[in-house]
């Protein structure tokens, strides 16, 4: 049985996904924590049709100073929540503003 669910979403376009059945929820907002490729004028046209699942976009996002620490902290928080949930499922909600580049990238790593 799956006990960890990871969902990403764009806060500008949608509300967070509803909690999974009886799941303990951890939410991480990456809007102001990671570089957003469309904000870079040199990349805006190129990444318009790409997502964080593509290597060049993922590499750009992961080059944000402190990105590795954000990942490490999220893993520790999720591990602690999972232990505290006493067998209940755990849901990780990852969001950024648009939901295409930063949030999707993190769910790929997790």
Q: What is the pLDDT of residues 56-97, one digit of tens each?
A: 888 888 889 999 999 999 999 999 999 999 999 999 998 887
Model pLDDT, residue 100 = 61
Q: What is the mean pLDDT of the chain?
A: 83
Model pLDDT, residue 26 = 93
CB-based contact 108:43 (threshold 8 Å)? no
Model pLDDT, residue 110 = 43
Model pLDDT, residue 31 = 87
pTM beyond 0.85, yes or no: no
Beta strands in 1-110 (DSSP E): 4-10, 24-29, 90-96
**Terminal Cα distance for the chain, rounded:** 18
């Amino acid at each position: 049985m799956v006990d960890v669910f990871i969902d990403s979403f764009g806060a500008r376009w949608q509300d967070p996904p509803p909690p999974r059945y009886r799941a303990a929820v951890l939410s991480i907002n990456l809007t102001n924590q990671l570089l957003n490729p469309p904000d870079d004028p040199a990349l805006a046209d190129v990444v318009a049709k790409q997502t964080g699942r593509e290597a060049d976009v993922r590499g750009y996002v992961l080059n944000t100073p402190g990105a590795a620490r954000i990942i490490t902290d999220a893993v520790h928080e999720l591990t602690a929540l999972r232990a505290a949930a006493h067998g209940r499922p755990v849901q990780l909600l990852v969001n950024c503003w648009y939901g295409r580049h930063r949030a999707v990238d993190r769910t790929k790593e997790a």
